[in-house]
A and B are shown apart, each in its own frame.
Chain A
Amino acid sequence: METKDYLDHLEAEAIHIMLEVAGQFERPALLFSGGKDSICLVHLAQKAFKPGKFPFPLVHIDTGHNFPEALDFRDQLVDNIGEKLIVRKVEDTIRKRKLVDASGKFPSRNALQTYTLLDTIEEFEFDVCIGGARRDEEKARAKERIFSVRDDFGQWNPKKQRPEIWDTYNGRINKGENVRAFPISNWTELDIWNYIEREEIELPNIYFTHNRQVVQTDNGQLMAYSEYLNLDDSDHIREGRVRYRTVGDMTCTAAVVSEAHTVRDIIEEIKIAKISERGATRMDDRISEAAMEDRKKNGYF
């Protein structure tokens, strides 16, 4: 029989990191996107702190391009666990800072999101933000420490990373700096799904197969039809039987054709999948070889 003791190990590592965050910082926050990775973070936080309260609020940076299913799920979850949620909207940032909104056929507010995040960090004086990034997602992320120090402008400097020895995390920072802490750095996509299955964690239903109106991009990716797209006559809307491997914005997260009804189905599907998670679903990383590295240097998660 297949044993899963490695999941116990990953779980304990993640919770150990969360406890270090709670113990070392004055004003932590947990960045919550509504995707499976941050849902797992919330589950881990419950294991870490229950029956006590979380020592941090959940923070959602709302791009305005979210899947409504993800937003409903978020509100339901917060209701169930009885923790505090802070929502800040990219639309407000655009208005306040007089920024130019994203344009194009599939307008992505990915870059704009960083402004809102940094403004929110400043507003609440967060000294650390817990995030659900994983090192297997992308090669710039593969290089990042568990406690990643960002400067006054939220920038990541890959050449000046602190040594991180054993699992002793140095969270001391200078004024203006803050830390991004990544408890599930060492988890892969498959680990996440195995954990979701074992712990019976609930997810937004768009992770499972459903019928949806989709538009095919030039790359052959399937984008959900929504009011945020700027389509022209050449685009053809059709109905597909799809699910989402990652849940980001409607404008830049592609669906995959799938008949997976259950978490077990998804695990089997991933095991034989030939395309990586981000490669299959993210338009934003396809722009250049160093797209993620550049975004991180600018303060992106």
Chain B
Amino acid sequence: MDILRFFTAGNVDDGKSTLTGRLLFDSKSISTDIIETITRQSKIKGKDTDLDLALLTDGLRAEREQGITIDVAYKYFSTDKRKFIIADTPGHIQYTRNMFTGASTADVAIILIDIVNGITEQTRRHSIIASILGIPHVLICINKMDLVSYAENAYSDIVDEYKKFANGLNLRNVDYIPVSALEGENIVNRSEKLPWYKGTSLLTYLENVKTLQETMDESRFQIQYVSNFVDPKTNEITRRFIGRILSGTYKNGDLVEVLPEKIATKISSLEKYNRAVEKAHKGDIVALQLSHDIDAGRGNTIVPIHQRSTLTNEIEATICWMDNTPFRPAQKLIIQHLSHTTKAKISEILCKIDIHTNQPDYDHTENMALNEICKVIIRTAEPIAADTFDQNRSTGIFILIDENTNNTVAAGTIFLFR
């Protein structure tokens, strides 16, 4: 059994929360006391169905009152094949940054299209965001099939239109499924109302879709925490550099280099949860001891000698601005590259990406406002040991923090070193 993370996106009324509710409900992941509560609320609110499934996920009072999703809600269910983590993300443009939060860790992006409204601005925007975040799979769920009597041509028109649009995007795998979240058709089981549809139901797709294989095996490790252990008997101090292997493999005895100082040394002990191991892999938390007494600390990178990563003070990146206050040229920023933080400056806005067409706009590069996506040049005070996002999804990412307010003001992916 493994874990699949997915998020749902789409227009405000495309039925995202209903779809999530339907998956939970039909896979029998909802307890009876919660169903009772929601049935009661549905009646109080005069909803026309007995059970308003959206009430399952809209957890904040303001959301229930306004009938929209404001922030990401995380929901969990599992089948015999997988544990699923759902990020139910808001569709409204005003809450795009919350959508980034839910989408950033996903294996699959489910983008809902209301068959009556067809492809909208939001469909395009969410697809572009999925492309920027490098989400491995995009699933287009064409919803409300009940409103067109489950007609095939209405479905294929939208599929054709989306394919044309998606041509210009950098999406890796795109699949299409017709559903009715409200009626529960093609969600858990294949629908008898869709005899012309040859694919699987939504749940079968989710149970079987492959999670991402790493495109790069180069070994990357960053120190999160340094632990000094004083042996109570000998008073001898051992220093452990603890962190997560971001990609590749580390072995006891590996010749390594500590960046950014470029100090060569050797792994003299490799431990996983206080147990010595010979080898550890991507995703493992390890404690390294090094042969030399080196002044290394949180945020430093340790790489094998033959797999050096680039040290750079200047990167080009695609970022999404997430702060209510627009970017100001004099703004003092901090870049957080995984566990490494250093001062940073956006020295140039190269272009803005039109979120609805994916076209670069070179004419309006003097400012950057909430939810805008831009290509920028960033200069950093200390060099960072990074890879491009194309090479390594685990290390080609960063966030920007305002030094004054401490808010997370942007998230970005690296596409070039300078």
- List chain A positions with a Cβ less than 8 A from chain B: 2-6, 8-10, 12, 15-16, 19-20, 22-23, 46-53, 55, 135-136, 138-143, 145, 158-159, 161-168, 170, 172-174, 185-186, 188, 190-191, 273-276, 279-280, 289-290, 293
Q: Assess whether A3 is in contact with B1, with CB atoms less than 8 Å apart.
A: yes
Report chain B residues within 8 Å CB of A23.
224-225, 298, 339
Mask, B393-407, CB within 8 Å of A = 1, is 000011101000111
Complex CA–CA separation, A164 to B72 (angstroms): 10
Q: Assess whether B100 is in contact with A186, with CB atoms less than 8 Å apart.
A: no
Q: Assess whether B105 is in contact with A167, with CB atoms less than 8 Å apart.
A: yes
Complex CA–CA separation, A275 to B338 (angstroms): 40
Q: Assess whether A19 is in contact with B283, with CB atoms less than 8 Å apart.
A: no
Q: Assess whether A186 is in contact with B76, with CB atoms less than 8 Å apart.
A: yes
Q: Assess whether A142 is in contact with B75, with CB atoms less than 8 Å apart.
A: yes
The residue among A53, A145, A163 with the most chain B CB atoms within 10 A of its own CB is A163
- Seed contacts A19-B244, A23-B224, A166-B104; 6 additional CB < 8 Å A-B pairs: A6-B1, A23-B298, A48-B273, A139-B73, A158-B60, A289-B41
The residue on A at minimum CB distance from B98 is A163
**Pick the contact of B59 from A12, A16, A140, A167 — CB < 8 Å?**
A140
Q: Assess whether B224 is in contact with A5, with CB atoms less than 8 Å apart.
A: no
Q: Assess whether B61 is in contact with A290, with CB atoms less than 8 Å apart.
A: yes
Report chain A residues within 8 Å CB of B405.
174
The residue on B at minimum CB distance from A187 is B76
Known contacts A168-B398, A289-B37: A159-B62 contact under CB 8 Å = yes
Report chain A residues within 8 Å CB of B283.
8-9, 12
7 pairs across A/B with beta carbons < 8 Å? Answer: A3-B1, A12-B284, A48-B273, A51-B229, A170-B408, A275-B31, A276-B33
Q: Assess whether A274 is in contact with B31, with CB atoms less than 8 Å apart.
A: yes
Known contacts A19-B225, A51-B274, A161-B71: A142-B59 contact under CB 8 Å = yes
Complex CA–CA separation, A22 to B242 (angstroms): 11
The residue on A at minimum CB distance from B402 is A172
Q: How far is the CB of A288 from chain B (nearest CB, A)?
A: 10
Q: How far is the CB of A180 from chain B (nearest CB, A)?
A: 16
Q: How far is the CB of A282 from chain B (nearest CB, A)?
A: 11
Complex CA–CA separation, A158 to B64 (angstroms): 14
Report chain B residues within 8 Å CB of A158.
60, 62, 70-71
> Counting CB contacts under 8 A, is B379 at the interface?
no
Report chain B residues within 8 Å CB of A47.
273-274, 285
Q: Assess whether A275 is in contact with B411, with CB atoms less than 8 Å apart.
A: no
Complex CA–CA separation, A52 to B228 (angstroms): 6
Q: Assess whether A165 is in contact with B411, with CB atoms less than 8 Å apart.
A: yes
**Pick the contact of B71 from A3, A6, A143, A289 — CB < 8 Å?**
A143
> Counting CB contacts under 8 A, is B352 at the interface?
no
Q: Assess whether B59 is in contact with A15, with CB atoms less than 8 Å apart.
A: no
Q: Which of B216-274 contact A (CB under 8 A)?
A: 224-225, 227-229, 240, 242-244, 273-274
Report chain A residues within 8 Å CB of B397.
165-166, 168
Known contacts A12-B284, A22-B225, A135-B76: A163-B408 contact under CB 8 Å = yes
Report chain A residues within 8 Å CB of B240.
52
Q: How far is the CB of A191 from chain B (nearest CB, A)?
A: 7
Q: Assess whether B407 is in contact with A162, with CB atoms less than 8 Å apart.
A: yes
Complex CA–CA separation, A252 to B408 (angstroms): 39
Mask, B32-59, CB within 8 Å of A = 1, is 1110010001000000000000001111
> Counting CB contacts under 8 A, is B144 at the interface?
no
